[in-house]
Amino acid sequence: MKTPVAESRSEAASPGPDRPVLSVRDLDVTFRARSPVLAVRGVSYDLAAGEHVGLVGESGSGKSAGALALVRLLPDYADVSGTVMLDGADLLRLNERELRAVRGDQVGIVYQDPFSSLNPVLTIGKQLTEVLSKHKGLRARAARREAARLLETVGVPNAEERISDHPHQFSGGMRQRAVIAMAVAPRPALLIADEPTTALDVTVQAQILELLQELTSEHGTTMLLITHDLGVVAGVTQRLMVMYGGRIVEASTTEDVFARPAHPYTVALHRSLPRIDARQERLVTIEGQPPDPTRPIEGCPFAPRCPSRIDRCTVENPPLMTLPTARRATTAGWELPTISERDGNPVPGPASPHLTACWNPPLPEARSAGAGGAG
């Protein structure tokens, strides 16, 4: 007998050009504790086939919690609600067995620390062949051949020999290459890369980003690239979503977010980027603290740190709006009808316009002054 999920999956059409690969709606993540931690608050977005999308924001903004919740990799004390549609099935409603098949087969994950994805007592080759046998049904010999080929593809020199090494015999960059090989081996529809370069030195960072971009482009894989560093996503993604206090506060094409940031927080993030075209005595940081995730937020979560704050900001939390709507909201004051009456609830996606959750978005001059320029 088919489970309701299997039934809904078989009835659903496979993703086409207009159909998102991943569709997230109203995702909430709360860690149960004496003071519950509201890590992700009502996040919605779509990712299309083959897109590379960046998710950026300061430490603690909910990037990892929101990404790990998609494939239910959070601890038991995390309450997750909303819907996460992938290939016609809601991942939040799959059973454990179905989920295990999705992880690896349809969704590959690359973490910041490659050690967390590698078993220290097994050789790199053994771990790769296991993935290939499990997800591609290859027999031992074919799996070993394919493992060596994959290691070579990701740039591990002398792959035939290095396949017998244990993880500790690889450098940090090589370990991350091996993890990437494992994540892309089953040709997943979606690759989640959570700070994949943070633990690496700058030259290796650039090589790993290039590798991720090459492999995902070659296979038409959708990539969600998570980072706290705007500089990392500049050349690798087509779209950006900026997170603050567990919410998406700005979303548009990468070019737009760099050239015309429409949220004061994004402008501040730009200013904190080291500039290569200007002499800077010290790195600029964003003053003030991010919101306490254990407390409900009244008004805009960025209000205590925001130079553009107006009265409305401390009372009413701005939803994501199209930029023209946000501008009207600035000038029209408090008497506006609700957002849903004006332009629905726009969701970041491949065709969505520039969105901002701000009652007083920066003017073009202020925005370009803060922009570091897409590189």
Ligand X SMILES: Nc1ncnc2c1ncn2[C@@H]1O[C@H](COP(=O)(O)OP(=O)(O)OP(=O)(O)O)[C@@H](O)[C@H]1O
Residue 212 tokens read as 């991720």
Distance CA 45, CA 248 (A): 9
- Terminus-to-terminus CA distance in the chain, angstroms? 53
Q: Residue 232 binds which one of ligand SF4, ligand X, Mg ion, none, with CB within 5 to 8 A depending on kind?
A: none
- In sequence order, the 6+-apart residues with CB closer than 8 A to the CB of 40 are 27, 28, 29, 62, 65, 66, 69, 246
Which of ligand X, Mg ion, ligand SF4, none does residue 189 bind (CB under 5 to 8 Å by kind)?
none
Within a 10 A sphere around the Cβ of 339, how many other Cβ atoms?
18
Determine the interface stretch with Mg ion among 34-42, 59-67, 91-99, 154-162 (rule: CB under 5 A): 59-67
Q: How far is the CB of 187 from Mg ion (least distance, A)?
A: 26
Tokens representing residue 34 in the block: 């004496």
User: CB-side exposure of 265: number of CA atoms within 13 Å?
Assistant: 29
**N residues, the chain:** 375
Binds Mg ion by CB under 5 A, chosen from 64, 153, 222, 227: 64
39 binding partner (options ligand SF4, ligand X, Mg ion, none; Cβ < 5 to 8 Å by kind): ligand X
| Shorter beta-carbon distance to Mg ion: residue 64 or 129 | 64
Assess contact for 248 and 236: CB atoms under 8 A.
no
- Give the residue with the Cβ less far from ligand X, 248 or 323: 248
Among 75, 120, 137, 296, binds ligand X (CB under 6 A): 75
The residue within the footprint of ligand X, chosen from 24, 47, 65, 269 (CB under 6 A), is: 65
296 binds ligand X (CB under 6 A): no
Q: Does 300 bind ligand X (CB under 6 A)?
A: no
What number of other Cβ atoms are within 10 A of residue 76's Cβ? 6
Q: Checking DSSP bridges between strand 37-47 and strand 22-31, what pairing results, if any?
A: antiparallel
Q: Name the DSSP letter for residue 347.
A: -
Of 66 and 167, CB closest to ligand X: 66
CA distance 311 to 63: 29
Instruction: Name the region of 253 (left: φ>0; alpha: ψ -120 to 50; beta: rest).
Output: beta
* Contact partner at residue 170 from Mg ion, ligand X, ligand SF4, none, CB < 5 to 8 Å by partner kind: none
- The 153-172 site mask, x for binding ligand X (CB under 6 A), equals --------------------
Residue 115 interacting partner from Mg ion, ligand SF4, ligand X, none (CB closer than 5 to 8 Å by kind): none
Q: Is 74 helix (H, G, I), strand (E, B) or coil?
A: coil
- Residues found near ligand SF4 in the complex (CB under 6 A): 263-264, 300, 302-303, 306, 308-310, 313, 318, 358-360
Looking at the Cβ atoms of 45 and 359, the one nearer to ligand SF4 is 359
Query: Would you say 185 or 358 has its CB closer to ligand SF4?
Result: 358
At 110 the three-state DSSP class reads strand
Round to whole Å and give the CA distance between 364 and 323.
Answer: 12
Pick the closer one to ligand SF4 by CB: 233 or 321: 321
Residue number closest to Mg ion, CB atom: 64
Beta carbon nearer to ligand X, 60 or 301? 60
Question: Closest Cα to residue 47, out of 347, 340, 320, 323?
Answer: 347
Q: Is 196 in the site for ligand X (CB under 6 A)?
A: no
Q: In this structure, are residues 246 and 61 in contact, taking their beta carbons and an 8 Å threshold?
A: yes
User: Should residue 57 be labelled a site residue for ligand X when binding is judged by CB under 6 A?
Assistant: yes
Which of 64, 153 has the CB closer to ligand X?
Answer: 64
Binding site for ligand X (CB under 6 A): 31, 37, 39, 57, 59-65, 75, 228, 293
Binding site for Mg ion (CB under 5 A): 64
